[in-house]
Amino acid sequence: MRILLVGAGGVGDAIAKIAARRDFFELLVISDYDETRAVRTLDWVRERHGEEVAARFATARIDASDADAVASVAREFSATHVMNAVEPKFVQTIFAGALAAGADYLDMAMSLSTPHPERPYEEPGLKLGDEQFAAAAEWKAQGRLALVGMGVEPGLSDVFARYAADHLFSEIDELGTRDGANLVVRDEEGNEIFAPSFSIWTTIEECLNPPVVWEKGRGWFTTEPFSEPEVFDFPEGIGPVECVNVEHEEVLLMPRFLDAKRVTFKYGLGAEFIGVLKTLHQLHLDSTTPIRVRSANGPVEVAPRDVVAAALPDPATIGPRMTGKTCAGVWVTGTGKDGEPREVYLYHVSDNEWTMAEYEAQCVVWQTALNPVVALELLATGQWAGTGVLGPEAFPADVFLELMARPVADGGYGQPFGLEERTPKRNTARV
């Protein structure tokens, strides 16, 4: 396997660092528009693991906005797989470039949505991933695989949903992805500051777009942003967090592959974060449409959202000032295999202190990066295989979770997941 990794930001950097401990690939090319970022990651790999490991890596400059440029770099390195680790606004060009180069493709966020022009809070317009799934026949005809939504959420959450459908339930009422954390970022004086742990560009996109819900018999429909608040109790010391509806890929993926009566995604944003997002929207600072502004060198055009992203701390740099844990998981309700009502929460927790000590990567980007590396290894070994455009639910969950949870000394990733019974009594077991 020869991998072209597009993007050396927080998640791309973590992907390379995790992959450096594995031996399933022949070459991993770290590429970025600013190649110095890719070089910085490779330097870390060399310093931490030595020249023999670093020899299986290379760096390149790439323009992710140009499909021909992506295809050219992929061909230059004879890439068999293109791993997309940049903003979702570049999905379609990287997706097209991979196919043109005859490579398989993976991403962690799907092609962008467009709200319904007349009824944005009732009906979806162009949905997340619609443009990619529209090309499924072409990918299948060329014998190529596009594995979409293979991060943590979406990604691991979808693997959990497949595991629940296969092993825990005979009938599913709801697949509800629930994401929460108790992360705190402080400045040099120890004061808590506003510093999103993931790309603010992506966060604005998913949080201010109309959330999507899926129900059997009704299909996909939308609601107001931050709708249907609920307090969800997260495990491992995180505790109760208020979660709200947010647009997310799981709701667009799970119903395509799994049988459930309802599919939702709720994110534990917190009152402060919701307030900031609402203010950005009121001031039109969430817009991606360039506006003309004055600068010292004369008028320039810039997208307000890009200004917001540039003004905030880079999520890849806040790890040393962050404390706490983040939890990603799926809350599943329905009828168990024994015919009795059942309710479980399948989850994975990432602790920032550990990820910083082991990888010098903050826990949110590290948890996101872990899952595409596991998926690539399963594809390399043939335990996962397919053609067309597929989500994580299309593949057996057992082998993924077993490899992820298996101790490092036994060839695994040493990342156990949790299975918490919520009825009839609360009981946490580590798998």
Does 201 have pLDDT greater than 80? Answer: no
Mean pLDDT of 137-144: 98
User: How many Å apart are CA 377 and CA 374, to the nearest integer?
Assistant: 5
Cβ atoms within 10 Å of 33's Cβ, excluding its own: 17
Q: What is the pLDDT of residue 419?
A: 97
Q: What is the pLDDT of residue 298?
A: 80
Per-residue pLDDT band for 426 (boundaries 50, 70, 90) equals very low
> Phi and psi at residue 67, in whole multiples of 5°?
-60, -40
- For residues 120 and 213, membership in a common domain is answered with no
- For residues 160 and 230, membership in a common domain is answered with yes
Which token pair is 199? 């790309």
Does 139 have pLDDT greater than 50? Answer: yes
153-162 tens-digit pLDDT: 999 999 999 9
Which token pair is 181? 């954390």
User: How many Å apart are CA 302 and CA 291, to the nearest integer?
Assistant: 5
Mean pLDDT of 262-277: 87
- For residues 74 and 218, membership in a common domain is answered with no
- pTM score over 0.85: yes
CATH number for position 402: 3.40.50.720
Does 427 have pLDDT greater than 80? Answer: no
What residue ranges in 107-189 does DSSP mark as E strands? 145-147, 169-181, 184-185
Mean pLDDT of 195-213: 81
- For residues 29 and 134, membership in a common domain is answered with yes
70-113 tens-digit pLDDT: 999 999 999 999 999 999 999 999 999 999 999 999 999 999 99
Considering only 299-308, 355-364, 372-381, which range has the smallest mean pLDDT? 299-308
CA distances from 143 to 97, 103, 121, 223, 252 (A): 16, 10, 38, 38, 24
CATH number for position 229: 3.30.360.10
Q: What is the pLDDT of residue 185?
A: 80
User: How many Å apart are CA 335 and CA 280, to the nearest integer?
Assistant: 43
Per-residue pLDDT band for 390 (boundaries 50, 70, 90) equals very high
- For residues 217 and 351, membership in a common domain is answered with yes
Q: What is the pLDDT of residue 428?
A: 40
How many Å from the N-terminal Cα to the C-terminal Cα in the chain?
Answer: 30
- For residues 23 and 96, membership in a common domain is answered with yes
Asked whether the beta carbons of 177 and 152 are under 8 A apart, the reply is no
**Number of domains comprising the chain:** 2
Asked whether the beta carbons of 110 and 102 are under 8 A apart, the reply is no
- For residues 193 and 340, membership in a common domain is answered with yes
- For residues 317 and 331, membership in a common domain is answered with yes
- For residues 260 and 381, membership in a common domain is answered with no
Considering only 161-165, 248-252, 271-275, 298-302, which range has the smallest mean pLDDT? 271-275
For residue 15, the enclosing domain spans 2-151+368-410
Does 272 have pLDDT greater than 90? Answer: no
On average, the pLDDT of the chain sits at: 93
Does 430 have pLDDT greater than 70? Answer: no
Q: What is the pLDDT of residue 431?
A: 42
Stated length of the chain: 431
Q: b vs e for 100-118, b when ≥16 Cβ sit within 10 Å of the residue's Cβ?
A: ebebbbbbbbbbbbebeee
Considering only 107-121, 180-194, 227-241, which range has the smallest mean pLDDT? 180-194
To which H or E segment does residue 188 belong?
A: none
Q: Which residues contact 300 (CB under 8 A, 6 or more apart)?
A: 292, 293
User: How many Å apart are CA 174 and CA 177, to the nearest integer?
Assistant: 10
- For residues 247 and 340, membership in a common domain is answered with yes
Mean pLDDT of 341-352: 97
- For residues 74 and 112, membership in a common domain is answered with yes
Considering only 359-363, 401-405, 426-430, which range has the smallest mean pLDDT? 426-430
- For residues 55 and 145, membership in a common domain is answered with yes
